[in-house]
Amino acid sequence: MKTIRLLSWNVNGIRAIHKKGFVQWVLRENPDILCLQESKAHPEQLPKELISINGYEAYFSSSKIKKGYSGVVVYSKQNPVEVKYGFGIPKFDDEGRTLILDYKDFILLNIYFPNGKMSEERLKYKMDFYEAFLEYADALVEQGRKLIICGDVNTAHNEIDLARPKENEKTSGFLPIERQWIDKFLSHGFIDTFRMFNNQPGNYTWWDMQTHARERNVGWRIDYFFISENFKSNLMNAFILPEVMGSDHCPVGIEILPDNSK
């Protein structure tokens, strides 16, 4: 039974990480599907080796608001039957935060969720984005579809998910309203895959670079793979790859069994 390996990584600039051996890392890791967030580039700005990594098709969703901002990418060995570039809501889709790939067995949503730290307006935008996403995801599940959702959610769910919860209670990314939304999301029948396999503290996916927080593992777990409840039996493993350098985030991943191999 061949499992499918999916990785997700906020690379904090695909052109920056390209200079740090990104293509070689992809070929070495050899995921079946690789989802990137915060690519900060349009395809026409990228060198050829990032557009066509050997063995992969590449799909890009880029910001229409400004260049060098936001953006998500999927590299896939398997061709999806359909690709969408948002929820159909321009104010969210125009920031290039969403790629939705239909693989028949499942639908993959690669999302770079907004950050709410900049202002009250951006926090409202983030919460509105959360609600629009949940409505979209719920509708797919109601149609009987199985979902895999990955990306930088920009919120740590519980105290175990960040090194200093008390100090960050009033910081966007750990506000009660943001954490309550994840509670709501999970109550709709979605599963935090990592916590199915690991309930230990100290597992983070983002560290502040300015304070050299990674060296002390003072981090946050804000990057996730979620699945819909109806896909639970397909999930074989979920993990974090904290040893992978090159960004202020590290990759996260899952291994699944396709329906036809069960």
Catalytic residue positions, numbered: 152
Rounded to whole angstroms, how far apart are CA atoms 41 and 14? 7
Strand pairing report for 33-37 and 4-10: parallel
